[in-house]
Structure formats: structure tokens, C-alpha cells
Amino acid sequence: MMKTPSVNLTGVPETMLWTLHNRASEARRPDGFLRDLDCVRVADAIDYDYVRSFGKPDGSHALRSRVFDDAVRPWMASHPGGAVVELAAGLETQFQRVDDGRVRWYCVDLPEALAVRERFLPPSERCRFIARSALDLGWMDEVDGSRGVFITAQGLLMYFSEADVRRLLTAVFERFPGVELMFDTIPEWFSRLTLKGLSVTKHYQAPPMPWGVSRARLGPLLRGWSPRVTRVAFAPYRYPRGAWLRFLRVGSRVPGLRDALPAMVHVTTAPAG
């Protein structure tokens, strides 16, 4: 396949290439747990030295995508024609993996990120692009929530301050009664590490991640932010690939230890009335 010219991304938007690298690596495996031909196609088309920047690929981002797929699919089945809003869509190919022919999908991201996405994954009638930061709450005005709303935020909220996360989530809960929300978190110690400067390789430093939160703190925190929150569940780490993912799977079941680990969170809220 002929590669395109290199993409010009820095800061948080560049992380879309990091996650693409890891997902495509898993999708290429004959025994991979993420089947994703579009991800492989996009990764192969971009002229970028993934290994130089991000090192040897691992299954972490592929696992996250698969777990999010496993949550979105049953919601779509019970909300025909509902709206899925993908905050920080980047080069994620979830729509291509789970599309049931009815869902209305909204990819929300910064203009420079969606400009790259459009080169490989163009919008369509049921997959619209909204070129705004997730913190620019005007994106909500473009979402038709009449048949229910599910919002995903993979690898996003940790890059915001806690005050910004609170403002975003409380606005979502108020604007879309009954909304379901799925996102991932990092623990406080890892947040502090990134603020000091975390080098993934000698050629790439991860952007600062100001918001770290433990599992024990998250449920009470969200319920304190909004009385609409009815359930805060933690998605289990399935599909282990390698020692780190096996450790996450086991460690997430151990009281005390699980508070020091990243988590994937599924929040449900009360409907109107």
C-alpha cells in the first residue's frame, strides 16, 4: 500500500497515533481479540515511525477498545437508531467495527484531529464530525438525543483538570437525561508521574495528565457532582495479552491494589422525570 505523507500532530492529538499503533498490532494477529481491518489499513497508510516514537506495541489500547465495543453493542441493540457520541474520536475505528446500520454516530474532536481522520475515515450520513473540543459544550447542540445517548471518551478525561471534567460531565448529565457514559481513568500516582515528565521512549514524551482518580474515590465523586448518577460500574479487564494485561486483570480484583491501577468506568443515569 502506498503511504500518505506524514501527519503533523503534536501534544494530545498525537496520542491518536499511539493508540492506532497498539490497536493495529493486535488486529494484525491471527489470534487477536480485536478484529479491525480499517485500523490496520489506516496505520499502514500513514508514513510514521510508530516504533521509534512509541516502542514495541502492546495490547492495552486494543483491550480498551474491545471492552468499549462490548458495552456499546448491547446499548445499540436496546436503543435502535440511538446516538453514540465519541469524544476525542481521533483515528479510533469503533464506528466501523460496531455499526448496526441504524446508529447515529458523532465524532467529536479538535479540528486538526478531524482533518487527519477525514483523510482515512470520512464522515457519512450516519457518522457525523463535530470539530470542537469536548470542553466546548456547543457540541451538545448538534446531537439528536431523542432515541437515547451513549457517550464514550477513550483516553481523554485524564488530560483535563478535575474542574474541567466536572463541568463537562455535569453538563452531559443535565443535557441528556438517561445518558450512559463510558470512560477510562488513571490513578493519582500515575497522574503525578506524567506531570513530572513521562518518557515513553527517548523520542516521545507522554502529554501531562492532570486528572488522576482512584476507584474508591470515583463513585462518591460522580454522585456528589450530580444526583442523576444512578450507577458507577467498573468494566473488567478481559482479553489479557502479555504480562501487564494479565496483571491488570488480576490486580483489579484485589482490594487496595485496584485503587493504584487504571480503570474503565461505565456510568448510568436517571431518565427525565
Task: Break the chain into its structural domains and give their ranges.
Answer: 59-269
Measured CA to CA, the distance from residue 105 to residue 198 in angstroms comes to 34
User: Looking at the chain, how many residues does it have?
Assistant: 273
| CA-wise closest residue to 140 among 117, 184, 164, 108 | 108
176-200 confidence digits (pLDDT tens): 999 999 999 999 999 999 999 989 9
What cell does 242 get? Answer: 502479555
Over residues 47-62, the mean pLDDT reads 90
Identify the pLDDT of residue 219.
Answer: 96
85 backbone dihedrals φ, ψ, rounded to 5°: -105, 120
Residue 37 has pLDDT above 80, yes or no: yes
Higher pLDDT, 27 or 247: 27
Q: Please name the residues in contact with 139: beta carbons below 8 A apart, sequence gap of 6 or more.
A: 85, 106, 108, 130, 132
Return mean pLDDT, the chain: 92
Q: Is the pLDDT of residue 4 over 60?
A: no
Does pLDDT of 1 surpass 70? no
3 pLDDT above the threshold of 60: no
Q: Which CATH architecture has domain 59-269?
A: 3-Layer(aba) Sandwich (3.40)
Characterise 39 by phi-psi region: left (phi > 0), alpha (psi -120 to 50), beta (else).
Answer: alpha
Give residues with Cβ within 8 angstroms of 194, minimum separation 6.
Answer: 206, 207, 208, 209
Sequence-ordered strand ranges (E) for the chain: 83-87, 104-109, 127-131, 149-153, 180-185, 198-201, 204-206, 229-234, 263-269
Q: Is pTM beyond 0.85 here?
A: yes
Q: Is the pLDDT of residue 240 over 70?
A: no
| pLDDT of 58 | 85
Q: What does the pLDDT look like over 121-142, one tens digit per residue?
A: 999 999 999 999 999 999 999 9
pLDDT band at 254 (very low <50, low <70, confident <90, very high): confident
Residue 245 binned pLDDT confidence (cut-offs 50, 70, 90): confident
For the cut 60, the answer to whether the pLDDT of residue 24 exceeds it is yes
Between the alpha carbon of residue 220 and those of residues 156, 214, 227, the distances in Å are 21, 11, 11
pLDDT at 246 over 80: no
Residue 9 has pLDDT above 80, yes or no: no
C-alpha–C-alpha distance, residues 98 and 90, integer Å: 17
